[in-house]
Amino acid sequence: MFENLQPASADAILGLIAEHKNDKRPQKVDLGVGVFRTAAGETPVLDVVKTAEQRLVDTQQSKAYIGTAGDPDFNAAMQELTFADSCDTARLFTIQAPGGSGSLRVAASLILRARADASVWVSEPTWANHIPLLGGAGLTLKPYPYYDTEKHVIRIEQMLDTLRHAPAGDLVLLHACCHNPSGLDPSEDDWRAIADVIVERDLVPFIDMAYQGFATSLASDAFAVRHMAGRVPEMIVSNSCSKNFGLYRDRVGSLSVLAADTGARDTVYSQVNNVVRTIYSVPPDHGAVVVSLILNDPELKAAWRLELAAMRGRLREMRVLFNDALIEKAPDHDFSHLVRAVGMFCFLGVTPEQVARLKQEFGVYMVDSSRINIAGITANNVNYLADSIAAVL
């Protein structure tokens, strides 16, 4: 049967990891996949994670199966981190999931079971894997305008206008903060206007929160989730702990669902657990217990907040440094959107041909759309990077 298959194309983001690794040029720069890096270009295990892992090794009694919903202490802590006191928790539940992607995949099956004919509106552009992941699960996706590639601003009026014409009952996929790929988030007033349209049109917010703590703070990065949770009858939130806990390969995330009332909540909860059983049975445990140990211990939580703030601060610093270097090396071009964006990503704003030249001639790797991971920039490579970009402009 396998003779019927053609090779699949390399993933637009993950494919860059191998390409960069195989490049022998010492001056190569990786601005591809979204992982945090230190000033030394490393992605170390957070200190607080090491501490919690040691505690786990010392105290864990069993590795018997946990249930489909995962660890209750983890779920309670993630729910608090995400929603605080923004809504009636009797209408809400949170389950553990294998990373943000696993959470999105479970959500997709839930949506199909609940309302198979609904469309999910996604930002244009959105995370490159949203479309194959959710579309591949069987959902119908439709785009709403989001990013103006000329002016490097959010197209908020066009976005609102498109959503005003969406059929009642459709879902709107929103990035809670650090929009991937543009790095540009709606302001709090914009979020209020988005929520108004969602309520008026009877739409369901489906929020992907993969970068809580990477934009401004844990609380303000959750503004969209908490504001909507206080206003809508139903919503879905997918969280990832890959970035803010640096637990990329351990696959830690959660899925929260807010339902219209407690009875509906219980029904949806049983359906979600049934979905989990039919996909991966039970979630992986290790990383989630580590997160639970951190979030449920005031001392470890405080230490985590400091490490998270340091990651956030480094990203901000690199944005300023990079923009300054480009002002010097490419004075005829405006890259000021680099410092208006937040989190790990933004578009450099060059053509696919220029992206290809940067890779071939200079060993500078980024996604074809010119999305760059700011964490790949260091004080040591920033001038080389700016020179390379100036050479292809």
Residues that bind ligand LMR (CB under 6 A): 13, 33-34, 127, 129, 180
Report CA torsion sign: 96, 97, 103, 107.
negative
From 208, 221, 250, 285, active-site residue: 208
Of the two residues 102 and 162, which places its CB atom closer to ligand LMR in the complex? 102
- Asked if 83 and 236 count as a contact pair (C-beta separation under 8 A), the reply is no
From 30, 121, 191, 243, active-site residue: 243
CB of 113 to ligand LMR, least distance (A): 26
- The neighbour count for residue 153, using CB atoms within 10 Å, is 12
Q: Residue 52 — left, alpha, or beta (φ > 0 → left; ψ -120 to 50 → alpha)?
A: alpha
Of the two residues 141 and 391, which places its CB atom closer to ligand LMR in the complex? 141
The token pair at 170 is 């459709």
CB of 195 to ligand LMR, least distance (A): 26
Of the two residues 13 and 69, which places its CB atom closer to ligand LMR in the complex? 13
The owner of tokens 């490097």 is: 152
Q: Give the separation between CA 216 and CA 219, rounded to whole angstroms.
A: 8
> DSSP letter at 132?
I
Position with the least CB separation from ligand LMR = 34
Burial of 318 (0-12, 13-18, 19+ CB in 10 A): buried
From 127, 185, 191, 250, active-site residue: 127
CB of 241 to ligand LMR, least distance (A): 13
Of the two residues 129 and 216, which places its CB atom closer to ligand LMR in the complex? 129
CB of 155 to ligand LMR, least distance (A): 21
Backbone angles phi, psi at 72, to 5 degrees: -60, -35
Of the two residues 253 and 363, which places its CB atom closer to ligand LMR in the complex? 253
CB of 4 to ligand LMR, least distance (A): 28
Q: Give the separation between CA 322 and CA 374, rounded to whole angstroms.
A: 9
- Asked if 183 and 343 count as a contact pair (C-beta separation under 8 A), the reply is yes
Active site residue 359: no
- Asked if 81 and 292 count as a contact pair (C-beta separation under 8 A), the reply is no
Q: DSSP strand E in 76-214: where? A: 92-97, 119-124, 140-145, 147-148, 153-154, 171-175, 204-209
Active site residue 261: no
The owner of tokens 């839930």 is: 110
Of the two residues 72 and 135, which places its CB atom closer to ligand LMR in the complex? 135
CB of 363 to ligand LMR, least distance (A): 19
Active site residue 191: no
Q: Taking the mean position of all CA atoms in its chain, how far away is CA 21? A: 24
Report, as residue numbers or ranges, the catalytic residues. Answer: 127, 208, 243
